[in-house]
Amino acid sequence: MTRYVVERVAWLLVSLLSVSVITFGLGVLAPGDPAEVVLEHRLNQPPPREQVLAQRRLMGLDRPLTAQYLHWLAAASHGDLGHSWLKGLRVSTALGERIPRTAALAAAAAVLAVLIGLPAGILAAVRRGSIADHLCRVGALLAASVPAYFAAYVLILMFAVRLHLLPAFGFGSASNLVLPAVTLALGPAAVLARLTRSTVLETLGEDYVRTARAKGAGTVAVLIGHALRNAMVPLLTVIGLLLGHLLGGSLVVEYVFAWPGMGDLAISAVHARDYPLIQGFVLFAGAVYVVVNFAVDLGYAWLDPRIRTGRRS
Amino acid sequence: MKLRVAVVFLVLTAACGGGGRGTDKAASTQTTQAAVALPDDQQTLTVATPGDVYITRDRNLLGMWPDNANICETLLGVDTDLRPVPVLATKWSLVGTNTWRFELRRGVTFHNGAPFNAEAVRFSMARVAAKSLALTSFIGPDSTKVIDDFTVEITPTQANLRLPEQISHPNFSIIAPGTDPVDKPVCTGPFKFGDYSPNDHFTALRNDAYWGDKAKLRQLVFRFIPDQNTRRLALESGQVDGIYFLPPQQAAAVKARPDLQLAPTPPGATVVLSFNLHGQDPNTLMQDIDLRRALAWSLDPKALADQQWQGTAQAITTVSPPSVLGAAASQIAAITGDLAKAEALLDQKGWKKGSDGIREKDGKKLSLVTPAQFDFEPESLQFMQAQARRAGIDLKVDKASDGAAYSAKINSGAWDVDINYWNQNDGNPASIVSRLWYGKNTAARIKFTSAGDKFDALVDQAVAAPDTATSAQKSVDAMKVLLAEQADAIPLTSFPQIFAFKKSVAGFVAHPSVNLQSWTATYRTK
């Protein structure tokens, strides 16, 4: 197990380093002179040439690329991602304000997706061919097909305009979180339900499940102790990917519900060619994917002894 | 995109129990006057505006522009006919050839208790110059001279007889000396700063020590909701009392509801397309006057006004609202609305339609990068795209996520056609021409839009004209060069901004410029 963990940590570091190279490369390959863009933002007019040259020196843009990268990496490893040209704030401050909000929304949506998707999928698998199965499948199809903005408006109409139970927009209280989290959870819940149904159905047909049943294990014990545990390996992969997707993909939901998260910050940065902020966002999103996948890898080892002991069937 | 719009429209219409098409002329600009006001402790009005512009722009204009919470005041204001009226200055006159003398109101104090006087005006105007807020007023760092405690003189750095009209813009707000609005605006207005939570809300509280008529509202809250449909739904849910910028397509449905009312402004803004006249490759297509003319002919402002704005807007031939130009406005002929002419011109110039309906020549598609302001109404953008496409012109619309992103795109020069609406914020007939195409304006966008010496000379004359009528005539002369001779811009419509409120909101009088909106007479009723 130790060797497995060490291997995964090594891959984690290599992946993070690759993300940093790509992120830095984005800034280098981006069109336009960063020094000129910074000054234009500051002066709101085209800057004189000598001022641009001075700014290039100040930003270290006159040094070799390797030196720039190492300097950037050293600063980034201490949380210093430079200054946003758009907002005049430190990138870490701008991201630091938004990350918790998006993370809260993503976490709530992920929990909801798992709480809805897993039981629904299990129910559909166990009651295959029943009305419950059909309902789950149709529900999953609808939830996966409906665009997030449409679901958002329908939920606002229903729960804010008609029933006055929840706020239509805003941020700051638990009630504000409900509608955006439900909207965001619908798609992932549908994916999880469908995947859970198929993987549980597959494991229920395995020899070890038949053996367990033959030895007198009850339905619940078979389901939890055997079928679900084995079905969890592919499910864990999908949950990991969904979490990464939720953290980076809540733009539409954030916009509709006026939820001040990472989404509109990232879009503003792209529109304004605010490269430090774009780099910060890409670095964060890349790091999240890498770390979540690392956690998923550890989860595999915990779920499947063959992985942690290095044996393969 | 069309599907998305259709679906949203269907859902919203269904939720409102239908709602036929209809028009809502900008006749009524005042919400109902009800007899019974709510008690003072319930006089909190919550209004939803588009996104928080203060988080992406610097906070020098916090609570002043574009969301004006009436915290700060200017020396002069403009009434609903866009004529200058006294505010913190009681009298003004031209002294010499380019110096304006202002006599200041006495007995006024700032929200921090400091007295308002000539030194405060000097401090504020120096800040305007230092923070690049002077627009085209030519107020420099040393332009303001204190004559005595209640008299100042302002001498622009170049001839500018439009100054009294210009300084009604919130950029020229008078700030308490020694304070910085970036932290907290301290001014003289009927409301004072409450609190600001980025991306969430801005609150203003009534100033009980105000020198004029005190506000009826105890508290005014702006909530930031970027999505126009959510803004409307928030109003219908009762979470807010009013909203800015209701899309005209939704006006009839909102008006049909018994609990809601509309308050459109008189038309005070114009939709104008500008061209990148001096861009670098690949943004050089619009340097060809024939392409500019063809795009202009392909667009039909009347159809835009009638179909998209449902009769609330009017097609225009000038870049400023005709109301500010008076009789001179009629001298400018239309350069739009003739599809056959557009197609003939493009055919003649060798632009042939490809299999996708978009024209091309020498392997280059007639595809134009078209940034649009973040709060521009999406349905109208699609309408313009569809019209241009009939002529084989592809407007690749790139709607900005916020004002700063839009400015950054324009200032970068990586665009061909710019779609925006422009507010007439004062009574200066030369306001819009000098902001958008005037070569002496130092704004970054001018590098790409400046219309040349002939145009600049006429704007100079408009700015230096001794009276408004002459200024209007000179502005129209400049527009003749801009539009008929050079086709450097395309005027489309003049339109109202539509506020919507609960029926229980009374006393609101819509100003033609939303940036100058007054909230003092507004109150909530039972």
- Position A3 scores a pLDDT of 81
B238/A contact by beta carbon, under 8 A: yes
Comparing CB atoms, the residue among A44, A147, A157 nearest residue B443 is: A44
Q: Where is mean pLDDT largest: A3-12, A222-231, B50-59, B319-328?
A: B319-328
Residues 347-366, chain B: which have Cβ within 8 Å of A? Answer: none
Beta-carbon count within 10 A of B345 CB: 20
- Position B355 scores a pLDDT of 92
Beta carbons within 8 Å of B229's beta carbon, 6+ residues apart? A153, A256, B8, B12
Q: Which of B237, B233, B258, B259 is nearest to B247 (CA)?
A: B233
pLDDT, average across residues A45-49? 69
Q: Which two tokens stand for residue B234?
A: 């928030």
Q: Is residue A132 domain-resident?
A: yes
Q: Is residue A10 domain-resident?
A: no
B228, B231, B237: best to mutate for the A interface, most A CBs within 10 A: B237
Bridge partners of residue B46, in order along the sequence: B221
Residue pair A168/B235 in contact (Cβ under 8 Å)? The answer is no
Beta-carbon count within 10 A of A104 CB: 16
Q: Is A91's pLDDT higher than 60?
A: yes
Q: Which residue has the tokens 């539509």?
A: B498
Which residues constitute the domain of residue A182?
A: 98-271
Percent of chain A scored above 90 by pLDDT? 31
Q: Which two tokens stand for residue A1?
A: 């197990």
Cα of A51 to nearest chain B Cα, Å: 16
Running DSSP on this structure, what letter comes out for residue B38?
P
Comparing CB atoms, the residue among A44, A168, A172 nearest residue B233 is: A168
**3-state helix/strand/coil string of B418-436:** EEEEEECCCCCCCHHHHHH
- Position B25 scores a pLDDT of 36
- With cut-offs at 50, 70 and 90, classify the pLDDT of residue A88: low
Comparing CB atoms, the residue among A170, A172, A255 nearest residue B226 is: A255
- Position B10 scores a pLDDT of 43
Q: Is A306's pLDDT higher than 80?
A: no
Q: Is residue A186 domain-resident?
A: yes
Beta-carbon count within 10 A of B317 CB: 20
- Position A206 scores a pLDDT of 86
CATH no. for B269-495: 3.10.105.10
Segments making up each domain of chain B, as ranges: 4-70+189-266+497-524, 76-172, 269-495
Residue pair B205/B219 in contact (Cβ under 8 Å)? The answer is yes
Q: Chains A and B: how many Cβ contacts under 8 Å?
A: 117
Q: Is residue A55 domain-resident?
A: no
Q: Which of B228, B307, B293 is nearest to B485 (CA)?
A: B293
In one letter, which amino acid is A225? Answer: G
Q: Is residue A152 domain-resident?
A: yes
> Is B91 buried (19+), middle (13-18) or exposed (0-12) by CB count in 10 A?
exposed
Cβ contact (<8 Å) for A45 and B401?
no
- Position B22 scores a pLDDT of 32
Q: Is residue A140 domain-resident?
A: yes
pTM: 0.81
Query: What's the CATH fold of domain B4-70+189-266+497-524?
Result: D-Maltodextrin-Binding Protein; domain 2 (3.40.190)
CATH number reported for the structural domain that contains residue A176 in this entry: 1.10.3720.10
Comparing CB atoms, the residue among B11, B224, B238 nearest residue A153 is: B11
Cα of B178 to nearest chain A Cα, Å: 23
Higher pLDDT, A268 or A234: A234
Cβ contact (<8 Å) for A156 and B233?
yes
Cβ contacts of A195-199, under 8 Å, gap ≥ 24:
A195/A121, A195/A234, A195/A235, A195/A238, A196/A117, A196/A118, A196/A120, A196/A121, A196/A122, A196/A124, A196/A125, A196/A231, A196/A235, A197/A121, A197/A122, A197/A124, A197/A125, A197/A133, A197/A136, A197/A137, A198/A125, A199/A231, A199/A234, A199/A235
Q: Which two tokens stand for residue B180?
A: 């910085």
Residue B207 CA to residue B519 CA, distance in Å, equals 12
- Position A46 scores a pLDDT of 63
Cβ contact (<8 Å) for A149 and B8?
yes
Divide the 526 residues of chain B into consecutive groups of 10 and give the mean pLDDT of each group: 45 38 40 79 95 70 89 93 91 94 98 98 95 84 96 94 91 95 94 91 97 97 93 96 91 92 90 95 94 97 90 91 90 95 96 95 94 86 96 92 78 91 86 93 89 96 89 96 97 92 94 90 94
- Position B30 scores a pLDDT of 67
- Position B343 scores a pLDDT of 97
Indicate the number of domains in chain A: 1
Cβ contact (<8 Å) for A153 and B401?
no
Cβ contact (<8 Å) for B444 and A44?
yes
Residue B316's Cβ-side half-sphere holds a number of Cα atoms within 13 Å equal to: 30
Q: Is residue A174 domain-resident?
A: yes
Cβ contact (<8 Å) for B402 and A147?
no
Residue B109's Cβ-side half-sphere holds a number of Cα atoms within 13 Å equal to: 8
pLDDT, average across residues A210-237? 83
Cβ contact (<8 Å) for A168 and B408?
no
Residue A37 with chain B: CB contacts under 8 Å: 412
Q: Is residue A108 domain-resident?
A: yes
CATH no. for B76-172: 3.90.76.10
Cβ contact (<8 Å) for B199 and A257?
no
Residue A40 with chain B: CB contacts under 8 Å: 411, 444
Beta-carbon count within 10 A of A48 CB: 11
Residue B442 with chain A: CB contacts under 8 Å: 45
